Structure formats: structure tokens, C-alpha cells
Structure 1
Amino acid sequence: MKKIFGVAIWLFLMTSLTNIPQASEIMRCSHQLPPNDHIAKVIDQWAAEIETLSENDIDVQINSANSLVKAPRNAEAVRAGELECAFSNNIQWTESLPLMDITLEPFAFRNVEIHKKWSGSPAASVLERRIAETGLTNVTWLFTTWRTTITSKDRHLVKPSDFKGIRIQGLGPIFNTALEALGSKPVDMPDRLAYKALEKGELDAGLTNVSSALSERYYEVQDHVTILPLFTVFYNGYVNTEWYNALPEKSRQAIIDASAKAEIWAIEASEISAAAAPGLLKGEDMQIHIATMPEIEVLKDIMLPAFKNKYLATTGRNGVDLITLVDQM
């Protein structure tokens, strides 16, 4: 009788232990965007989807606005295992992986259809392999709008001669050569600092995507804006490879599936935001000019060769192959 009672107690304890909920895998994720940015909202949606698809086996903790790690350190921190995940844009990769500047090629990403073709493309695969070589696994590409704004004061900047001597917001050494070819003087700085520089007169012109021109309130310090498909910026999401490979297959698949959805959400959110932005900027008393195809071609003839020369000098044979792949999209 005692033996039977002992077996019953053992079975009860074992059943109780197996019913104790297992702790979720923590996935700390850092990015630089303010919480109200449309891409930041997509990242939040992506995190929620991972938790849903993994049945809460993964607890995704999003830290926005540089609150966990400053943007320039994101990749280093994920690689070192200080956190599991981060999102970076082109500018953060310029020094360590200049190939990532490919989407800054002037007028290459000129419509939303090219964005839709990016995921799984040979061009994207090239970059994913290079990211993997650094100890990171790329999981998603979140594109912002392909519509660029060039903001200015008192007049539009449209013709090459309009840019001569203009101190303009820059995007890093490779893209800046295209601006210098127009005779302008690029100064690298993020949007939040560009606003202050424009306000103080330290910059003459802003350069950002059309949604950011609105969300960062460029209209408070500039009164003219030219809109054209000059470049696009992405925020690519990546994880620590060792951490990722150690996850159960179900959790890895949840990240893969949520990431594929997020790429579509980002395009949709960017298109909605960009479509509304010109009218909203006009409502803030900005004078809007949509660049015509002849105007674009004139700028392209000057900017593209300068960009390609610098890009290829920096990236070598890999850059040649990548530009070819992008130009075929």
C-alpha cells in the first residue's frame, strides 16, 4: 500500500512539474526610430507577430529611440551577445559594410515595384551573405519610401545650378560624392540634428524621405520642398547567429514568417505615409514641386556617375556585381 501511495505521489509531482509554464526566450531588440515613426510601428507589429506565431515561446522586447544601445553600436552589440536583435539603416553600415549603400544609388529604386521585388532577390542575397560573414543573421528588410524630399528656403532646388555652394544634409561618403558633383557641400547628420542645423542656418537644405520631412517638422524651418525618387533607405533587422541557431525550429520559423509579413507591412505603411505627406506639407505652407522626368534625367546624368565611381572604388568587384543585379530589377 505504501509503495502504491509513493508511486501516486511521484506521478502527481511529475505531472505538476510538466504543467509549469516554461519561461519565454527573451529577444531584446534595439532600433533608433522614435515610437511614432511608421517603420517603428511596423517593428512593433513584427514583434507581436513573432510572439503570436511562437505561442509566446519568444518574448520580444523592443527598445526604440536609441534607448538600449546607440544606433552606431547596434550591430556590434548583437554580435557580442549583449542583445539578440537590432535594426540598422544604410548609414549605420557605411563603414563596416559599404555594399549596403546600394539603395542610395541615385534614381535606382524609383518606384514601389522595385521594393516589392527586393526580398529573396539575388541582390538581397548578396548582402545577406556578407552580413552572415560578420556573425549576424539578417531576418528582414523594412524599406522606407522611395520618395525623397530636398527642402530649402525661399526657392526650390531643382536644376544642377541650384545646388552650387549649398550646404545640404548628407548621407555618408559614398552618396555625398553625388551631391558634390552638383556643386553642393554635404554635411552628414541625422534628421533630428538636421532640423536644428537648418533652424540655426548651419545648413541650407535638408535631404530626407518624404515621411520624415513631415514627422521631423522640417516645414517649421524650411518653406520649399522638391520631391523626387532620388534614393531609398531600409532598416534591416538582424539577430545574433549563435542565439538564433540555438532556438527550437518552431521559434525560428515564427521569426521567419513574421519577418516576411513585416516586409509587406513596411511597404504598405511607407506608401500610405508618403502618399499623404505632400498634401500635409502643403498644409503647413510649404511650396511643393514634384520633379519632372526631364529634370530627373538632368540630375541623374551628373549624380549617377559620381556615385558609381565612389561606390565601386570602395566596394570593388562585389560592388560591380551588386549594381548590375540592382539595375536588372
Structure 2
Amino acid sequence: MLVAGITTAAQSAEIMRCSHQLPPDNHIAKIIDQWAAEIETLSENAIDVQVNGANSLVKAPRNAAAVRAGEIECAFTMNSRWAESLPLMDVTLDPFALRNVEILKKWNGSRAAKILEQEVAETGLTNVAWLFTTWRTAITSKGRFLTKPSDFKNIRIQGLGPISNAAFEAMGATPVDMSDMAAYKALEKGELDAGLTNISAALSARYYDVQDHVTILPLFTIYYNGYVNSEWFDKLPEKSRQAIREASGKAALWAIEASEISAAAAPKLLKDEGMKVHIATEPEIEKLKAIMRPAFSRAFLAATGADGEELIDLLEDM
């Protein structure tokens, strides 16, 4: 009877299949696992969250479409992957705009977040979580540091979408959009000259195996937003919906805390792996900013119009 009772409870749990692209040792992947466990706890196991990372369930470019079609219930997507369908999501890639972790702590529930959540809702998805990775960027290279605008001329660099790429194109670089996993292979084959990722991912994706220099700077902020199929979510009992909301609110803070710890440790760990590490100076940052930010703004506002301008103003107010 006990076994039968357990089996019945397991069968009655709502399955929530969730896909993401991150490798298992990435700190955000671990936060997603923690988030999943918290949902199960808060829902008293009414929801069975099945997390599938590292593109093992659905490839990253198809995550949103798969959730929208009901193939799976949930996914996490890096904001740069929304560039073509929802360009407003690129707002945190504004060069050197978000250089304070306190801003990230204010994001959840902010007017800026609600604007983006509405954008997501209009596509048939319900945004439930915002997981920021870090506001520190790693630009990896081979043989020398890339620190000034002229260093990027004729450099093939990992790209993050057309809007963000405009900032590098303004310096004469050629961005090529690809994930960290694909960039690792391209760097290894010599098809790329430089990597572009957050500092923690430079470590977890093992960029140190294929590059020997890294410049660290507060260039942009990357996040993974978690979303679910709206029709599926709306049919859940209120207790289950509240469990997802509450767990997501906690995970937003967990992600910031874990990201700060990971980012603080990464420079030394990259050195330990044999990389030469340079922390960009303020004069270097200002020279890059003078070229990159106007180029980004032109591309961002061309794609988003008045909504983009409002979003930038909201971030500055934060």
C-alpha cells in the first residue's frame, strides 16, 4: 500500500521539463537546479521539475519555440539569443552601462523588468525568473591583450547578436555570433581570434585551453531569463503557480550572490590555468566606451525605437 501510494503521488505530479544550454559546472546551471528543487519543495511535490542542461533536451536556438509549442514546459535563454525576435532584451548589453551589482539587485520586479516580461508574454510565454550571471566580461585572446580600440581592428571575435556586435564593428572587428561551446571549437581551429563571454564562463567553458590572454572589464551584463508555456502555467493550481513565483524570486538573489562569488574567484583561477590576466583600467575603459556605446545605442534604438529609449532611461534611473 505504501508503494502504491508513492506511485500514485508521483503519477499525479505535474511534469515541468526545463531546458537550458549551460554545462553542469556553471554556477547558473547549479542555481537552476536549486530553483527546481525549491519549486518541488514549495509545491509539496505537486510539480516534478526535470532540468535538462547542456542542450541535452532542446538546442538553445529552439528553446523558446519548443516551450511555445508545448513540446516542453520551461526553458532558460541567454538574453542575446532574443536579439532578433525581442531586441529590447539586449538592453543590458549597453557597453559599460551596468557597472554596479546593486542595480542588479533592484532588477526583479522593476519597471524595466516588467516591460520585458510583457514583451515575452506577447509571444505566448510567461517569464518567471531573471538569473544574472555577472557584470564582468572576459575578452580572451592569444599572444596579447585586447585593451584599446585599435587592438580590435581586423579581429574575428565571438559575437552576441547584431545589436551588441555593432559596438565591436565600430572598432573594426568582425563579430561572429556563437555560443561559448561553439566559440571554444572555433578558437581551437583558428576560425576566431578572440572570445567574448562573462568571466565565470571563461572558466567553466575552458577558454584557457585555447587562449592565453584575457582582459576583464565591466563591458556588459548577461542574464538567463526563465519562462514557461503560458497556457500550461495558467492551468496550474494557484498554489503551484505561487511556488514557481516564490522560488524564482529567491533564485534571482541566489544567482547574483553566486555570480559575485564566481566572478571574484575567476581571475586567480584563470591565472592558475596559465592565462595572463589584465584588469582594464579606467582610461582604457573610457576610450573603449567612447566608441562602443554610441554605436550600440544607434543599433539598439534603430531596432527598438521609443520603447528602447524608455528602457535605457529606466536603467539609468536605477
* Deviation sequence 1:196-228 (CA, Å, 0-9, x none): 211222111111111111111111221111100
Cα separation, 2, equivalents of 1:35 and 1:219: 18
* Deviation sequence 1:264-314 (CA, Å, 0-9, x none): 111111111111110011112211111111211111111000000001101
2:195 aligned with 1:235: no
**Which structure would you say has the larger Rg?**
1
Per the alignment, residue 35 of structure 2 pairs with: 46
Per the alignment, residue 10 of structure 1 pairs with: none
Per the alignment, residue 57 of structure 2 pairs with: 68
Deviates more, 1:73-82 or 1:174-183: 73-82
The letter of the residue matching 1:57 is: A
2:224 aligned with 1:244: no
The secondary structure found in structure 2 opposite 1:243 is helix
CA contact (8 A) 1:86 1:237 kept: yes
Tell me the CA shift for residue 105 of structure 1.
0.7
CA contact (8 A) 1:151 1:226 kept: yes
Per the alignment, residue 3 of structure 1 pairs with: none
The letter of the residue matching 1:313 is: A
CA contact (8 A) 2:81 2:161 kept: no
Cα separation, 2, equivalents of 1:57 and 1:198: 45
* Deviation sequence 1:25-69 (CA, Å, 0-9, x none): 111111111122111110010000000000001111111111111
Q: 1:157 aligns with which of 138, 146, 160?
A: 146
Tell me the CA shift for residue 92 of structure 1.
2.0
Equivalent residue runs for 1:12-51 within 5 Å: 21=9, 23-51=12-40
2:260 aligned with 1:286: no
Task: Give the gaps of 5 or more residues in structure 1.
Answer: 1-15
Per the alignment, residue 290 of structure 2 pairs with: 301
2:47 aligned with 1:78: no
Equivalent residue runs for 1:248-327 within 5 Å: 248-327=237-316
Q: 2:183 aligns with which of 194, 219, 229?
A: 194
Tell me the CA shift for residue 262 of structure 1.
0.5
Tell me the CA shift for residue 234 of structure 1.
0.7
Tell me the CA shift for residue 101 of structure 1.
0.7
The secondary structure found in structure 2 opposite 1:144 is strand
The secondary structure found in structure 2 opposite 1:222 is coil
* Deviation sequence 1:157-183 (CA, Å, 0-9, x none): 111111111111111110101001111
Cα separation, 2, equivalents of 1:215 and 1:246: 38
* Deviation sequence 1:82-140 (CA, Å, 0-9, x none): 11111111122111111111111101121211111111111111000111111111001
Cα separation, 1, equivalents of 2:208 and 2:59: 27
Task: Give the gaps of 5 or more residues in structure 2.
Answer: none
Cα separation, 2, equivalents of 1:60 and 1:297: 45
CA contact (8 A) 1:28 1:83 kept: yes
Cα separation, 1, equivalents of 2:69 and 2:138: 37
Per the alignment, residue 106 of structure 2 pairs with: 117
2:134 aligned with 1:145: yes
Cα separation, 1, equivalents of 2:125 and 2:167: 31
CA contact (8 A) 1:111 1:229 kept: no
Q: 1:59 aligns with which of 32, 48, 52?
A: 48
CA contact (8 A) 2:112 2:311 kept: yes
Per the alignment, residue 125 of structure 2 pairs with: 136
The secondary structure found in structure 2 opposite 1:305 is helix
Cα separation, 2, equivalents of 1:128 and 1:86: 15
* Deviation sequence 1:216-269 (CA, Å, 0-9, x none): 111122111110000111110011111111111111111111000100111111
Cα separation, 1, equivalents of 2:292 and 2:213: 22
The secondary structure found in structure 2 opposite 1:118 is coil
CA contact (8 A) 1:38 1:270 kept: yes
CA contact (8 A) 1:177 1:310 kept: yes
CA contact (8 A) 2:43 2:239 kept: yes
Q: CA RMSD in A?
A: 1.4
> How many pairs were matched up?
312
Cα separation, 2, equivalents of 1:51 and 1:215: 27
